Amino acid sequence: MGKLELGIYLALPVVAGFLLQGNDYALTILAFMLIYGVLAMATTICTGHAGQVTLAQAGFFGIGAYAAVLVTLDLDLPFVFGFIASLVVSGAVGYALGVPILRVKGHFLGLITLAFTQVVYEVALHWESLTGGFNGLFGMTKPVLPIPGIEPLYSFILILTAFWFAVLLAADNLVHSRYGRAMHMLKVTEQGAQACGINVSRYKSDAFALSAALCGGAGAFYGHFIGYIGPDSFTIDVSIAAIAMAIVGGIGDLRGAILGSVLLTFLNEPLRNHPLYQPVMYGAVILLALIVLPEGIVPSVLRIARPRPPA
């Protein structure tokens, strides 16, 4: 992505948040778009770019949230320490989990990572002394900037935007670096990658752990933003949302991840008030998008906008 394009992406939430000050509901939706944007970009790196299908995002999201909240609540440290803890703990769990399970591929990996998310849910539910069990943990406050003249919620959006933009910048650099191209080779042809001397298992673990750490960071923001976390905050639905945003927006395309997170968060908002219709509509929209736009929205639109020159 060019500097101008990146600048526009940075400006969008900053300006939108500024204009929406006073409208807490709209700012909340914006915060969710950014949090889910991070999850979708993490999924794009792991699944879209490196080809390792994952449904573990909700698990790492949860682990990060619990790690951060325990640091700020129990140790009484500022948010930044909780945030660092969330990156480290989620990344470490991701690395440890990745080493054995990345031996399997494709759909199998999907189901095993889904089982992992279920396990995180069960641990959060039953390890009451640490996680508060069913009641969860509450009482944390969101980080704000001491800038006079702006709302606390908007200043939180600014901090969140900084994280979101850092993820976008890092992911964009990764995708275009030598290291990132080696990662992409895993998806295109694993045997080919091996033949080129790429350490396949190391790159797989790296991609998986990196995406896990990013999901953990998103979890830290989520927990402190909502002020409550419990097992039900981290169900498989979060993983499905993350992969749906990444794929519907455009497989392996960071712009697609951003667009997907904005669109699906936006779609989900009116549906939340109609829980009976929510799953049907959500499932139907994803299926429809996948059948009508096989490669996701962004690549399909780009293809129409920029037809290939005749050979």
Partner 1 sequence: MTDLAMMPQLLASGIMMGCVYGLLALCFYVVHAGTGIINFAQGDFVVLGLIAIWTCIVAFHMPLLLAIPLTVLATGLTVGLLERLLIAPARSREPSVQLLITLALGILIRGLIQLLWGSQPQSVPSFSGDAPIHLAGAAILPQALWIVGGTMVILAVLHFVFTRTLFGLALRGAAGDREGARVIGLNAGLISFYAFGLSALISGAAAAVIAPVISANPLIGLSLSLKGFAGAILGGIDRPQTAVLGGVFIGILETFVAGLISSDYQNMFVFGVLMLVIVIRPAGLLGKRT
Quick one: which of 18, 202, 284, 303 contacts partner 1 (CB under 8 A)?
284
Of the residues 11, 96, 103, 176, which one makes contact with partner 1 according to CB under 8 A: 103
Calpha distance 218→33 (Å, rounded):
11
- Cα atoms found within 13 Å of the Cα of residue 14, Cβ hemisphere only: 13
* CA dihedral angle for residue 73, residue 77, residue 82, residue 83, rounded to 10 degrees: 140
Nearest residue to 301 via CA among 245, 242, 255, 246: 255
Total number of residues that touch partner 1 (CB under 8 A): 44
Residue selected from 104, 150, 170, 198 as contacting partner 1 according to rule CB under 8 A: 104
**Which tokens sit at 201?**
């298992």
Using the Cα atoms of residue 121, residue 124, residue 127 and residue 133 in order, give the sign of their dihedral: negative
In this complex, which beta carbon is closest to partner 1, that of residue 266 or of residue 277?
Answer: 277
Using CB under 8 A as the binding rule, whether residue 175 contacts partner 1 is answered as no
- Looking at residues 62 to 101 of the shown chain, list those that interact with partner 1 (rule: CB under 8 A): 100-101
Q: Where are the alpha helices (DSSP H) in the chain?
A: 3-19, 24-43, 57-74, 79-101, 106-126, 128-131, 152-176, 178-188, 190-195, 200-226, 236-249, 254-272, 278-292, 297-305
Phi, psi of 102 (to 5 degrees): -75, 5
Considering the rule CB under 8 A, would residue 4 count as an interface residue with partner 1?
A: no
State which of residues 291, 304, 305, 311 lies at the interface with partner 1 (CB under 8 A): 291
Report the interhelical angle of 3-19 vs 24-43 (nearest 10°). Answer: 150
Selection from 170, 220, 155 nearest residue 14 by Cα: 155
Minimum distance from residue 7 beta carbon to partner 1 (Å) = 31
* Candidate residues 160, 168, 171, 286; the one interacting with partner 1 per rule CB under 8 A: 286
Indicate whether 263 belongs to the interface with partner 1 (CB under 8 A). no
Q: Is residue 271 a contact point for partner 1 (CB under 8 A)?
A: no
- Quick one: which of 118, 155, 194, 268 contacts partner 1 (CB under 8 A)? 118
Nearer to partner 1, 22 or 294 (CB): 294
Binding test (CB under 8 A) with partner 1, winner from 4, 276, 304, 305: 276
Identity of the residue, 136 or 249, whose beta carbon is nearer to partner 1 in the bound complex? 249
Report the residue number, 291 or 311, with the smaller CB distance to partner 1: 291
Q: Give the C-alpha separation, 142 to 220, whole Å.
A: 10
How far apart, in whole angstroms, are the C-alpha atoms of residue 179 and residue 166? Answer: 18
- Which one of the spans 119-127, 147-155, 174-182, 225-233 is the region binding partner 1 (CB under 8 A)? 119-127
With CA atoms as reference, report the closest residue to 225 among 155, 171, 281: 155
Residue among 62, 82, 110, 219 that touches partner 1 (CB under 8 A): 110
Q: Which C-beta is closer to partner 1: that of 160 or that of 264?
A: 264
* 119 scored as a contact of partner 1 (CB under 8 A): yes
Query: Helix, strand or coil for residue 67?
Result: helix
Enumerate binding residues for partner 1 (CB under 8 A). 47-48, 51, 53, 100-101, 103-108, 110-112, 114-116, 118-119, 122-123, 125-126, 236, 240, 243-244, 247, 251, 276-284, 286-287, 290-291, 294
